[in-house]
Structure 1
């Protein structure tokens, strides 16, 4: 796996997390978003930043793995997009006058499960090759 992909995704997630975090902290209340939804929005931005930092960390150590982590990278990427993106949609679309359908709500936990799968399988793969 190319460490440049990890760096690119990590930096993109962090930049988006900071921009959207600032928007959540300074703008959402002014357009009438209630506090609970703003907290949900903050969760989405936090996970963008956490996984961005994780991707940057992986970029620094990926060369030390004795195995491929392409599936894990894809799971972390897709899981983060689905998890955080669905939270952003659930908060912002109603404020924009777009009616939320029942399809968007279940995307959040599916994204979370994909994220867990990516990080957990990376952990398990590492444990299988770990030599003390």
Structure 2
């Protein structure tokens, strides 16, 4: 499990840097200030939660008796990146405001991921 979240976290951090550069260098002249801000918010949360995936991977070893909670934490953070950041990327590029309906589901996934990590620490301590 820890290897999975290290790979996912690393690849998502790579994509976060690439998306940030894409926004700063290419989208800056193509999007309104409002939509560029939406895109940048997606990148911001993307990066924070990709780092969270690396933390989950590190804690998988530290809390071996909390495997299910660690798994829920990692997969929830991953889902949050896809739903929250992904919907903001799509909304900003396409201008389809209905995509904003998806964003809160990603936010809830982030919250679930962090709570599951806390529970893993409480339940999985050696």
- Normalising by the residue count of structure 2, what TM-score does the alignment of the two structures yield? 0.87
Partner of 1:93: 94
Tell me the matched-pair count: 123
| Structure of larger gyration radius | 1
Partner of 1:121: 116
Q: 1:60 Cα deviation (Å)?
A: 2.2
Q: 1:63 Cα deviation (Å)?
A: 0.9
Partner of 1:97: none
Gaps of 5+ in 2: none
2:39 is paired with a residue whose SS is helix
2:66 is paired with a residue whose SS is coil
Partner of 1:46: 44
Structure having the larger proportion of residues in helix = 2
Q: Whole-Å Cα distance in 1 between the matches of residues 115 and 58 of structure 2?
A: 19
Cα deviation, 1:95-126, whole Å, max 9, x if unaligned, reads xxxxx263x21110111011111111221332
Q: Whole-Å Cα distance in 1 between the matches of residues 123 and 72 of structure 2?
A: 16
Partner of 2:56: 58
Q: Whole-Å Cα distance in 2 between the matches of residues 15 and 40 of structure 1?
A: 20
Gaps of 5+ in 1: 95-99
- Normalising by the residue count of structure 1, what TM-score does the alignment of the two structures yield? 0.84
RMSD: 1.7
Q: Whole-Å Cα distance in 1 between the matches of residues 23 and 125 of structure 2?
A: 41
